[in-house]
Chain A
Amino acid sequence: MSFFVETWDPSYGSPIEINELDSASESVKVDAEVAVEKWKPISVPAVNLRSSIIFIDGVRRFDAHIWFEDEGHPHRGICATVGAGSVRCTATKAEVEHTRIERAVHTSAVGIADIELPRFGETYKFKATKDDSSEALNMSVQNHMARLEDLISAECEDEELVVFDGPLQQRELACGVGYVKSQHVQYLPDDVVPVLGKLKPGERTPLIDIEGRFLRWSWFLRLADVGSVASSIVRLELPRSLSIEAAVERANYVSALLPRYASMAHKESRAPQNLYPISGLERQLRRRLGSRDLLERGLRLASA
């Protein structure tokens, strides 16, 4: 019996958590590009990068858990720093273009002001959450980061191709592509799932049409020749506003480009799905978040 070792660092989980796959609550049409019976891997023609490709990603970090006293009722809160940025890749150069860093204190306590750290010239802006639960606090931090990503993407509207790390969700950028590293939702019906296992590096599945909260074109792409097929697959999304012809053309272009950016296991703990430009961007963003130790000390000083 043969086996593969997952290329992701175990602490990140697995890119495909098979046990958790369940049928999508959204409805999926598999015959958007080809009929179900004709489903097979599509090898895309090689292309050159036309001008440039933009990658957008965000990072977040919890700096401190804090408690507020509200007339004897304790309230939880989280101080978190989030960052978002973009990388522009051309044929010869990859550079971080836009970055934004913000800090906020997330809590449901009322009457809370921003927390100032005068010694460091930093401020945690107050963000209200609906309750004290971990989910609500996490969601607030996540939303904060997503909003920063939106601000970054607003500066990239006229680009040729913008890849977002994660699903497109509410984003309707015409040039946008959603890039989903890990698969938690079973979008494909059982009769076409075997096609995934037949994908060779650089090959994609036909487009599917997802109808749910957001309308999406989507497809699967095998990035690299590492480990099992399952551990080198990503799912991509395009806005449904594109015509099917335009979507196919774009899917071919993106599928041909992305394997170039796939990372190697010894350099990246979530290889190959965490693309080099994104991992480089995350590294730079994390650096710009500032020292957590210093910030925590500042918070302790401010609380005294």
Chain B
Amino acid sequence: MAKKKAKSVKSETVGRVIGIDDATPLEFWVAVEPGQALQLDDVVAMDRVLPSGEVVHIYGMVTQIRARHEGATFQSDVFLISEGILPAEVSEAALVQPTRFEPEILLPPLPGDPVRRAEDEERDIALSFDSVERRLPAGLSRNNEPVFLDLDFIDGTKGAHINISGISGVATKTSFATFLLYSMFTSGVLGAEAANTKALIFNVKGEDLLFLDHKNGDLKDKDAARYKPLGIDPGPFKDVGILAPPRRGDANATPSTGSRSLGVSPFFWTVADFCQQNLLPFLFADAEDERQQYTIVVQAVTAQLRQLPVTGDGAVNFDGQIIRTFGALLDAIENKLVPANPEDGADQRWTGRAVGTGTINAFVRRLASARRHVEHLIRSDIDDSAQHALDLDSHQVTVIDIHALHDRAKRFVVGVVLRQAFDEKEASGSAKPLQLVVLDELNKYAPRDSSSPIKEILLDVAERGRSLGIILIGAQQTASEVERRVVANSAIRVVGRLDPAEARRDEYGFLPGVQRKRATILKPGSMYIAQPRLPVPLLVEFPFPSWATRPSEAQSADEADSNVDPFEGL
């Protein structure tokens, strides 16, 4: 009953469409009535009666407001006016961008038409929330009203993927991505699938994401209260697995993390995995680049490695030699390519045909330079190494910590893990439950101007993930440096604080001029969201994370980490 009442009471007139600036179906100005005020992002509604008697409801959003003295001619008139000498009127006008016409007859409102604030159900209609069946809470408007995303455009039903841009540090891209995950898992929007939906998060910077399963001790009551209108209970992520690379030089492969030691498992690949799953190309960022001669060698060596017999405990048998470390494998490969006795000549099965010594040397050089960075990630020198196979299914959220790895190792891990996730999904043959992937610094993995196996995987995810049920929540500082197809395939675009020079680029065409300017001054925690349903991007603020984003925030009763040894690792 209360809801029905809200709809029947139309709010009072806040202004009227002005007639000295053109009113168009794409934007128009509204003079604000004295005693009323409109602010940016306010949602308004008005009616236009057609000659036939039909009423068109026009809904829109305030994107700019101006105030001026009418009756003043000179700048200095303001002093006369404020001293009570020159009569003038203060006049305010708001620029409105229509979000919806109902029914969809696209015509301008007429000058003089009264404009009202769209509240409650009318606001939902204005922002097209009324036709969204599965609403994903995405944050709050500045009036603390919930803003929703249409899950149909995320889970692949009508569209998929989310792309987030913004300056590091102030754009809070990762926080927003984790908030969306939390919202997806706890708001009930996924229904029964929520339990089986999995998320894979790459932790690329700091240790921000290693404490997702801890309550945030810095969460104040007023911050926690902001979850309420969204229909979410604040709390930590429930089922989190943390994977970290093994400590370098540690024979037991204990995970290398700074502040967190409990509940972290190491991840690495056995030498057998490396050979059998064709992982070699992932060591070469530009292996697919046709112009590079040595890619022939990469392909030849990959094919040869695949044929090596495996021992069962993760090692391979390389011409009778049992190889358990990456270093030993590289030495063996090098021996094949560059024989000790130059008279012997290189094995053409390993080098590829008609490949010059220079090309082979280029390959060997590149391979050797990768050794230092990945040798701790590819090993079979531990007893149960075969059991360390990457398991993306045992936890709802799997965080893979790569922040301490060298760029080459990062690319290797991301490429290999994504391939594995992709292959598993492809093999399962069902898009549901979803596999969500959160990856920051997309510009590193899918740069605009080059080609690599990692980029190919990301393109596969971007273009086929929608039907396979792999949803990429990608982020980058600058969308202009990321492969166009990866960004273009994202149905939902999100922008945090942008660099002013970056904001002028075409990649942000979904932001109209005023929003683009505002994007350069967004404060942390505020994002613009562009979604296919709405022609105008929405500004949202998402609540302070209710999970720890750094060790100092981590709060847990059974947390032994509280007395971390400050000398650890020295």
B428 beta carbon closer than 8 Å to chain A: no
**Which segment, of A35-43, A91-99, A244-252, faces chain B?**
A91-99
Q: A281 contacts which chain B residues (CB < 8 A)?
A: 87
Nearest A residue to B85 via CB reads A276
Q: Is the interface of A mostly helix, strand, loop or mixed?
A: mixed
B61-89 contacts to A, CB under 8 A, are 71, 73-74, 77, 80-89
Are A267 and B84 touching (Cβ within 8 A)? Answer: no
Distance in angstroms between the alpha carbons of A162 and B80 in the assembled complex:
20
Are A267 and B87 touching (Cβ within 8 A)? Answer: no
Are A89 and B85 touching (Cβ within 8 A)? Answer: yes
Are B84 and A89 touching (Cβ within 8 A)? Answer: yes
Select which of A92, A266, A279, A283 is within 8 A of B84 by beta carbon: A92
A298 beta carbon closer than 8 Å to chain B: no
Are A94 and B85 touching (Cβ within 8 A)? Answer: yes
Are A93 and B84 touching (Cβ within 8 A)? Answer: yes
**What 9 pairs between A and B have smallest CB-CB spacing?**
A280-B87, A94-B87, A276-B86, A280-B86, A276-B85, A94-B84, A87-B87, A89-B84, A93-B84
Question: What is the CB-to-nearest-CB distance from A49 to chain B, in angstroms, rounded to a whole number?
Answer: 8
Q: B84 contacts which chain A residues (CB < 8 A)?
A: 49, 89-94
Q: B87 contacts which chain A residues (CB < 8 A)?
A: 87, 89, 94-96, 277, 280-281, 284
A→B interface (CB under 8 Å)? 49, 87, 89-96, 260-261, 266-267, 276-277, 279-281, 283-284
Are A283 and B71 touching (Cβ within 8 A)? Answer: yes
Distance in angstroms between the alpha carbons of A36 and B80 in the assembled complex:
39
Are A276 and B71 touching (Cβ within 8 A)? Answer: no
Question: What is the CB-to-nearest-CB distance from B404 to chain A, in angstroms, rounded to a whole number?
Answer: 65
Select which of B71, B74, B81, B89 is within 8 A of A267 by beta carbon: B74
Nearest B residue to A93 via CB reads B84
Total interface residues in chain B, CB < 8 Å:
14
Are A94 and B74 touching (Cβ within 8 A)? Answer: no
Greatest chain B CB density within 10 A among A93, A260, A279 is at A93
Q: B73 contacts which chain A residues (CB < 8 A)?
A: 267
Q: Is the interface of B mostly helix, strand, loop or mixed?
A: loop
Q: A284 contacts which chain B residues (CB < 8 A)?
A: 71, 87
Are A94 and B77 touching (Cβ within 8 A)? Answer: no
Distance in angstroms between the alpha carbons of A279 and B73 in the assembled complex:
11
B86-133 contacts to A, CB under 8 A, are 86-89
Are A260 and B71 touching (Cβ within 8 A)? Answer: no
Q: A96 contacts which chain B residues (CB < 8 A)?
A: 87
Are B82 and A276 touching (Cβ within 8 A)? Answer: no
Q: A279 contacts which chain B residues (CB < 8 A)?
A: 86
Q: B86 contacts which chain A residues (CB < 8 A)?
A: 94, 276-277, 279-280
Distance in angstroms between the alpha carbons of A261 and B566 in the assembled complex:
75
Question: What is the CB-to-nearest-CB distance from A280 to chain B, in angstroms, rounded to a whole number?
Answer: 4
Q: A267-B77, A280-B71, A283-B71 are in contact. Are A260 and B82 (CB under 8 A)?
A: no
Pick 20 A–B contacts, CB within 8 A, sort by A: A89-B85, A89-B87, A90-B84, A91-B84, A92-B82, A94-B80, A94-B84, A94-B85, A94-B86, A94-B87, A95-B89, A260-B85, A261-B85, A267-B74, A267-B77, A276-B85, A277-B86, A280-B88, A281-B87, A283-B71
Distance in angstroms between the alpha carbons of A260 and B83 in the assembled complex:
10
Q: B88 contacts which chain A residues (CB < 8 A)?
A: 94, 280
Distance in angstroms between the alpha carbons of A94 and B88 in the assembled complex:
7
Distance in angstroms between the alpha carbons of A277 and B81 in the assembled complex:
9
Question: What is the CB-to-nearest-CB distance from A5 to chain B, in angstroms, rounded to a whole number?
Answer: 21
Nearest B residue to A266 via CB reads B74
Distance in angstroms between the alpha carbons of A283 and B88 in the assembled complex:
10
Greatest chain A CB density within 10 A among B77, B81, B82, B86 is at B86
Question: What is the CB-to-nearest-CB distance from A140 to chain B, in angstroms, rounded to a whole number?
Answer: 29
Q: A260 contacts which chain B residues (CB < 8 A)?
A: 85
Distance in angstroms between the alpha carbons of A261 and B80 in the assembled complex:
9
Distance in angstroms between the alpha carbons of A90 and B84 in the assembled complex:
6
Q: B81 contacts which chain A residues (CB < 8 A)?
A: 94
Question: What is the CB-to-nearest-CB distance from B223 to chain A, in angstroms, rounded to a whole number?
Answer: 42
Q: A267-B77, A280-B88 are in contact. Are A92 and B71 (CB under 8 A)?
A: no
